[in-house]
Amino acid sequence: MSMFKSPFFDNKVLPTEYQAAAKKLFPSGGFADGHGPSAQAAGAFADMLGIGEDYKRLLAGFSDRAVGDFLEGFQNNLDLLIQKTWVEKSEESRKERLLDSIPEFIATIKSGDYAEALEEFGDILEELAYLFFGAQSQKDDFAEYVLRIDEQMGLFWWYCGQIKAAQDTAWLKSSKPDVQHAMLFLGICYLTNF
């Protein structure tokens, strides 16, 4: 079972100093009874990822123009990351499909449908992990593997797996838009600064 298909990652794979904040962001029992992350938990997690200031500045100055500029930077950076990723010739179509999905994803965000955007983001993140790490991204110990490479990057991929796992939960559709927005822009901000 891959990191992106497990029900929820065990917070215990994270270093001890990150477990409390991770548990607030994504409870180890999932989102039963509507319990899920808060916008405040997303801010604390952004600090752990090293993007706290940029993330808080983005959310504080959230205007249509600021969002448009930010999303343009995100798309440019993501396009560059995807294009620079080396894959076998047989995998080139994966890269192209991923590149083609980004404009639709941006349009969903701009429409304000953050629940749908989170679902699309989970799919994008799963493909991006495969492009970066190949078959390793499909293994059960992927989060632990990336944490050994770099803790902040490992935390990010742990978050990505949680977003993907949340696709089938009631929380994704029933949580407040500000929480969906905060969770979505947490990952986007990290990738923009990657």
Residue % of the chain over a pLDDT of 70: 84
Per-residue pLDDT for 32 more than 50? Answer: no
pLDDT digits (tens, 9 = 90+) for 56-77: 888 887 677 878 888 999 999 9
Q: Which of 53, 30, 29, 31 is nearest to 43 (CA)?
A: 53
- Asked if pLDDT for residue 97 goes beyond 90, the answer is yes
Containing structural domain, residue 62: 20-26+38-192
Is residue 105 pLDDT above 90, yes or no? yes
Q: Is 3 among the domain residues?
A: no
CA separation for the pair 88, 147 (Å, rounded): 25
d(CA 9, CA 42): 17
Q: What is the DSSP-derived secondary structure letter of residue 35?
A: -
Contact 191, 77 (CB under 8 A): yes
Provide the pLDDT for residue 10: 56
pLDDT at 2: 46
Structure confidence at residue 89 (pLDDT): 83
- Summarised one tens digit per residue, pLDDT across range 182-193 is 889 999 999 998
Whether residue 9 lies inside any domain: the answer is no
pLDDT beyond 70 at 36: no
The pTM score is: 0.85
pLDDT, the chain, mean: 82
Averaged over 36-53, what is the pLDDT? 84
174: CB partners within 8 A, 6+ apart: 34
Q: How would residue 121 be classed by pLDDT, with cut points 50, 70 and 90? A: very high
Q: What is the mean pLDDT of residues 83-92?
A: 82
Could you tell me if residue 166 is inside a domain? yes
In a domain, 155, yes or no: yes
Share of the chain above pLDDT 90, in %: 32
Calculate ∠ Cα 70-154-137, nearest 5°. 95
Whole-number Å distance between alpha carbons of 75 and 157? 19
Cα-based distances in Å from 50 to 35, 57, 87, 140, 152: 26, 13, 29, 26, 7
Q: Is residue 11 part of a domain?
A: no
Q: Is residue 77 a part of any domain in this protein? A: yes
CA distances in angstroms from 13 to 10, 19, 70, listed in the order given = 6, 9, 32
Burial zone of 175 (CB within 10 Å; 0-12 exposed, 13-18 middle, 19+ buried): buried
Mean pLDDT for 106-130 is 92
Is 106 within a domain? yes
More confident residue, 155 or 168: 155
In a domain, 93, yes or no: yes
In the chain, the number of structural domains is 1
34 DSSP 8-state letter: G
Residue type, 176: K
Better-scored residue on pLDDT, 4 or 119: 119
CA dist., res. 28 & res. 58, Å (int): 28
